[in-house]
Structure 1
């Protein structure tokens, strides 16, 4: 066989093998890139889930105390910049323990979810509705006038105006609500929450509550 032909065939074989190896390497790099992208996406999703667990209530999806305190800090900073005002409402459900004792914790959890939903629907999108834990909720709302405060309180009260239907049970649940205004009633998170909490307990202690109170 002609030496030139042999050299040509050999070169062609080497080029073909080289191209095959290069394609295999590119395919491996592409797989590794896709695998890395998938891991990064999974890691980002996991980080987002951890962030959600850290800042939001596991049951209702509302902001928890940690995020609530951040929202109040933001409200204080904005009010200081703009000489503004906001109101903090502290809600504690009346007879919630009776609901748990009589109907079970599963019913109590469903009730808390419905209350969270009503509060969120009745208030403005930029208001904060948070769950402190147990049967306690806090609302933070920017206000300008006394009429604004009354309007916010009316919207919260509206959330409890109609009974809740839980697992074919009609429950007429109400809440004791305390109020604190910035800056009149305090200029820190602790002072505002304490003032609103005190008002809530003073109101609750003035009520006579029994088991029939929760049945609509």
Structure 2
């Protein structure tokens, strides 16, 4: 059963000294990205993303699954039936689904390289029979509030992404894609509301920027390849 509201839950955990963990179901709802068309059908592999959020620096079983932590309280997400899903995996899988909805031939590669290591990424592409590899570091997936009864709340999502082809050519180099949302909330804001806002308002906007950039680069790569073929004839 969901706790009644975020702040009562956290306050109760802090004053009691208890460790309370709660994983809330979150569903990301894709929306069409207008004006974007991908003509390149080359295969794209998307590796696991490293979690570089400050909250993930607390090394325990919830370190990369926590969205909110205060005292002994931990709030995470349930996705596709999996409780306390890794936050970076949640972002990555929805990024892949956004690419696939545009017709991009994208799939997961279950390794976690340094996103800036172009030689390693090229080797991963070759070993997994894909033309290009995308890797990223999740920097923020956060919810922060300040105030008393009326709270000024900020939600933020950001990640640094790289894209390398199988020959080691850097196509996207550690570019940051981010989005923020700020508003006033009452003390009774629900966990479900907070997580839904992060996923379906803020994360969506950051993913949209990354998907558009990826689509542009895929189309540019196809254009370059076609120009090279014409020149060689």
Please say whether Structure 1 and Structure 2 have the same fold, judged by a TM-score greater than 0.5. Answer: no
Structure whose residues are more often strand by fraction: 2
Larger CA Rg, structure 1 vs 2: 1
Structure whose residues are more often helix by fraction: 1
